[in-house]
A and B are shown apart, each in its own frame.
Chain A
């Protein structure tokens, strides 16, 4: 009796810890060794979402996630894909190329996902794509890198939801040369993303009758920029700037101190200021300057009903911030790519009659067969044209001007402005 009464008290701390540890280890290792069976026809379609939750891409990752969740909810509410719901299997890649490749392997061989999707940063895409190709898992990236269209990757890697940097940059040159000036100085970060801007914009500007006076590459570890500004030639009519990372606020502030009230025209890429409020203290100097935007962050007076719908579903207000927290500014110029990619995936799977992982090759062929995508709720950023040979989509680009802290649409390029000759034909590679 006495023993029975002592029951609960006899659970020692060590014993409890042991039980917990054993239970925890069992729970943790269960998915490790369990082998997954092939999806049944009524089972969900599993989309492996390679998300930058940590690392340099975390702000993008957060919004890529929200956009993805919104689109998946809508698709599932409308009956899913081929009558099957979508299930998102998210894994953090730490915005790291090595971990990215491991995550793709995990999607293909552990979670048995139908496709992998959602990567933004180029080095993660380039590090992961070889594994996707080898494992023959369709890999839909939302990266805006030129890596897909350049032919560096493989038949299983596609970018149907966002345009690439080459087309974006070259489409800016006609506007800059006709409206802002012909003598340009470029300031860009001294790594691959900056070099893409340097190379593609220089070439397009010269083709548009302009001239590049100076190329100023900023080392990636730089935290102060004043010493580079004296290299900006006096005759500069337009200052083209693209800076990525937290240093951008310092960059703009120091640029303001350097030029004072008389500055040349300025044109920048919003990549620098994604997830940053344009009305932040220190950014006043940008007033009147121009930006490329993949999708105008601030709702325009003539906003399309599609943009309004998309904004509402994702939970973004008219200034591009979260409806629940105005200080939480979105990565509006890029994140639409997740939404549009998921709808391309849906259309592709429906066209291919996709049933399971055995139909992956059919899915690739169905997406390759796509061409025009009209401006719609599925494509709220604008109409698109997909090139099945290069696996890259092309679309309108937007140029906005900062007016009283509002990014006002100044110009919309045509799709034709963004086209360039094919550099690869992936359809010749085996599936």
Chain B
């Protein structure tokens, strides 16, 4: 079997499985999986920058929030319907990531982490500062009646699942296409040896900026969808923990693998959900599991699978 076929079977199989699962899952897990698919899209966005380009950002909450508020504020204040509001969210993510990318990419390494973190903090504080518009930390509700996209009520579990599935599929296929094309290969080359990529004649800055914009816009798509599907936009989604979460998900699932972000998000979600039923110190359990995984599977779940079994895993 060729490598391409294996890749197709694995990722197509995952999408098929997720599609079929909605007919068999109990209500609670059905809802959870919809949420996980949106969050996994956020993680995939992060993976493009961190996993494939080697840019460790600590400010991805800003892009997620840009999408969420781009969507929610236009609905609240400009009476946009969901379709143009989603586009507004995407546009917000695109603009914010282009500007932040152009500025932050002048730095590298630790400085890049700090600059992205600072921009994200500035974004979080801006949400609080413009509280008259955003309702700050409290956030606001996007009413059920407004969340109807092309006649489909997104508060209905079936349509919500479909919408999340569509977003997830799109992000997965984009990631897959990206890493198999010259552009994606160049990003990996930059990750592995930036100097050599530059010496080979690639415009490294433009390439990295491209990665930031694609990643930021994809994160914004996840943010806008999250707000629309679950009916709420609030400043907590712009806080630093939402910059850390995608990093954790990607590390857990396997940085630089297309399927890893989904596995990491799924694993982390149920780890917290199940351990919180056992003890109030569930973050401790989560922490111990993370330490163990880092010790015994430093490349994450999918990364470990690639190292041991499927060396072709993209």
Q: Which residues of A contact B (CB under 8 A)?
A: 28-29, 31-33, 35, 53-54, 91-92, 96-98, 101-102, 105-106, 109-110, 122-123, 126-127, 129-131, 133-134, 145, 147, 152-154, 190-193, 195, 219-221
Can you list 21 pairs linking A and B with CB atoms under 8 Å apart? A35-B26, A54-B283, A92-B280, A97-B234, A106-B273, A109-B26, A109-B28, A110-B28, A123-B236, A126-B139, A126-B234, A129-B141, A130-B231, A130-B232, A131-B230, A134-B144, A147-B138, A152-B140, A191-B131, A192-B137, A193-B138
A91 — nearest CB in chain B belongs to which residue?
B276
Q: Is B182 located at the chain interface by the 8 A CB criterion?
A: no
Which residue of B29, B132, B138, B235 has the most chain A CB atoms within 10 A of its CB atom? B138
Inter-chain CA distance A110–B278, complex, in Å, is 16
Q: Mark B130-160, 1 if CB is under 8 A from A, else 0.
A: 0110011111111110000000000100000
**Interface members, chain B 204-236 (any A CB < 8 Å):** 230-232, 234-236
Given contacts A220-B125, A221-B125, 19 further A-B contacts (CB under 8 A): A35-B26, A54-B280, A97-B232, A106-B273, A109-B27, A109-B31, A110-B28, A122-B138, A123-B138, A126-B138, A126-B139, A126-B234, A127-B234, A127-B236, A129-B141, A130-B155, A130-B230, A190-B129, A195-B131
Chain B residue at minimal CB-CB distance from A103: B276
B282 interfacial contact with A, CB 8 Å? yes
**Which residues in A have their C-beta under 8 angstroms from that of B60?**
none
Q: Is B144 a contact partner of A97 (Cβ separation < 8 A)?
A: no
Contacts A105-B28, A123-B138; is A92 near B276 (CB within 8 Å)?
Answer: yes
5 nearest interchain CB pairs?
A130-B231, A192-B138, A109-B27, A110-B28, A109-B28
Classify the interface of chain A: helix, strand, loop or mixed.
helix
Question: A residues within 8 A CB of B131?
Answer: 190-192, 195
Contact between A98 and B236, CB atoms less than 8 A apart: yes
- Enumerate chain B residues within 8 angstroms of A105, measured Cβ to Cβ: 28, 31-32
**Are the CB atoms of A192 and B135 closer together than 8 Å?**
yes
Distance between Cα atoms of A219 and B273 in the complex (Å): 33
Q: Which residues of B, 8-40, contact A by the 8 Å Cβ criterion?
A: 26-29, 31-32, 35
| Nearest CB of chain B from residue A202's CB, rounded to whole Å | 14
Kindly state whether residue B128 has any CB partner on chain A within 8 Å: yes
The smallest C-beta distance from B29 to any residue of chain A, in angstroms, reads 8
User: Given that A102-B32, A123-B236, A130-B141 are known contacts, is A53 also in contact with B26, CB under 8 Å in the complex?
Assistant: no
- Closest beta carbon of chain B to A31's beta carbon, Å: 7
B residues near A129, Cβ cutoff 8 Å: 141
Contact A97 B31, beta carbon cutoff 8 Å? no
Instruction: Let me know if A219 and B125 touch, CB within 8 A.
Output: yes
B238–chain A nearest beta-carbon distance, Å = 12
- Assembled-state Cα–Cα distance A192/B283 (Å): 28
Asked whether B274 is an interface residue with its Cβ less than 8 Å from the other chain, the reply is yes
Nearest-Cβ distance from residue A136 to partner chain B, whole angstroms: 11
Contact B35 A102 (CB under 8 A): yes
With contact pairs A92-B276, A131-B230 given, residues A154 and B144 touching in the complex (Cβ less than 8 Å): yes
Residue contact A134 to B274, C-beta cutoff 8 Å: no
Cα-based distance from A122 to B136 in the complex (angstroms): 11
Nearest residue, chain B, Cβ from A35: B26
Q: Which residues of A contact B274 (CB under 8 A)?
A: 28-29, 32
Which B233-271 residues have a C-beta within 8 angstroms of A? 234-237, 270
Give residues of chain B (107-133) contacting chain A, Cβ–Cβ below 8 Å. Answer: 125, 128-129, 131-132
Is B277 part of the contact surface with A, judged by Cβ < 8 Å? yes
List chain A residues, Cβ under 8 A from B125: 219-221
Complex interface: chain A residues within 8 A of B155 (CB): 130, 134
What's the least CB distance linking A159 to chain B, in Å? 15
Which residues of chain B are near A126, meaning CB under 8 Å? 138-141, 232, 234
Contacting residues, chain A, for B283 (C-beta < 8 A): 54
Bound Cα distance from A147 to B140, whole angstroms:
9
Assuming the contacts A105-B31, A123-B234, A130-B231, asked whether A191 and B137 have C-beta atoms less than 8 A apart, the reply is yes
B232 nearest in chain A by CB position:
A127
Name the B residues within 8 Å of A190 (CB-CB). 128-129, 131
B282 to chain A, nearest CB (A): 7
Residues of B within 8 A of A131 (CB): 230-231
